[in-house]
Amino acid sequence: LDASADCVKILSTDGRLEMLNDAGLCLLELEDFEPLRGTRWPDLWPPECRPIVEEAMRTALSGGTGRFSAARPTARGNMRWWDVAVTPARDAAGNIARLVVSSRDVSEAKRHEDHIKLLLSEVNHRSKNLLAVVQALARQTARDESARAFVDRLGQRIAGLAASQDLLV
């Protein structure tokens, strides 16, 4: 388990921490695992996350794989986003003896996703503004123009607007 780059934990069937790999110590910014040994894993999550943590454990205890993504701070208070899988570990008789938790730090991907959402929101806002400008151009061009002249002048103005949009981009 120490060869994994992910944070890997072994839990008892009641959700208490039994082991944490070296990468987990590093990712969680912990100096020593011993103070956490025996702590209920769900209690280490913010209160609003505990229901999904508990649900993932119940899924694993019923033989499935519980999955969730959530944010929680490290020991030093740095917020990180985690993609978590909780799976059962069976004994020789096939009974679920422990739970294995693999947590991947997806903070950078989450920041990237949030940045893309921000950019898309800005594009949406600018598009609506651009449509308002087109509507104003159409109204201004329509004054005292024949239908053919209107179409020609509006086309020229929209082409100019498109050129300015190219410059902006």
Whether 144 has a pLDDT exceeding 70, the answer reads no
16-43-29 Cα angle (round to 5): 85
Give residue-wise pLDDT tens across range 147-165: 778 878 888 888 887 787 7
User: Would you give the DSSP letter of residue 12?
Assistant: -
pLDDT tens readout for residues 13-43? 999 999 999 999 999 999 999 999 999 999 9
Tokens standing for 83?
């993609």
Structure tokens at 17: 């921490």
Helices (H), the chain: 22-27, 50-61, 107-142, 147-168
- Count of other CB atoms within 10 angstroms of residue 87: 19
What is the rounded CA–CA span in Å between residue 42 and residue 13? 12
Show the tokens assigned to 80: 């990180």
Q: What is the pLDDT of residues 42-74, one digit of tens each?
A: 999 999 999 999 999 999 999 999 999 999 999
> Taking Cα atoms as reference points, which of 29, 28, 27, 9 lies closest to residue 19?
9
Query: HEC string of 22-44?
Result: HHHHHHCCCCCCHHHCCCEHHHH
Q: Are 56 and 67 in contact (CB under 8 A)?
A: yes
Enter the pTM of the model: 0.70
